[in-house]
Amino acid sequence: MPWCETCDRQVEDDEVNEEGECVTCGNPVTQHRKIPWQFKIMIYITIIYLAYRAYQGVTWVVHHI
């Protein structure tokens, strides 16, 4: 998936000239890989889980002091 850093958007194959440059701005395009949505969900769930465990730890300490 070609990505133009200057335009900050994905460019289609027909929008890239023979030299591998964006036809809009003339800068070279790179291959841009998006972060998979499954990975983002895993990170969010991990943060929620760790926050819950921290809450449990704090309440346990408060009740045992």
Tell me what pLDDT residue 7 has: 82
Residues 39 and 53 in one domain: yes
Could you tell me which residues are beta bridge partners of residue 4?
A: 9
**With a cut of 50, which residues of the chain have pLDDT below it?**
none
Tell me what pLDDT residue 12 has: 83
Tell me what pLDDT residue 59 has: 97
Q: Is the pTM of this model over 0.75?
A: no
Query: Distance (Å, rounded) from C-alpha 30 to C-alpha 25?
Result: 14
Amino acid at 17: N
Residues 48 and 22 in one domain: no
Q: What is the domain count for the chain?
A: 2
Write the CA distances from 56 to 41, 42, 48, integer angstroms: 23, 21, 12
Tell me what pLDDT residue 22 has: 83
Domain extent, residue 46, equals: 35-65
Residues 12 and 22 in one domain: yes
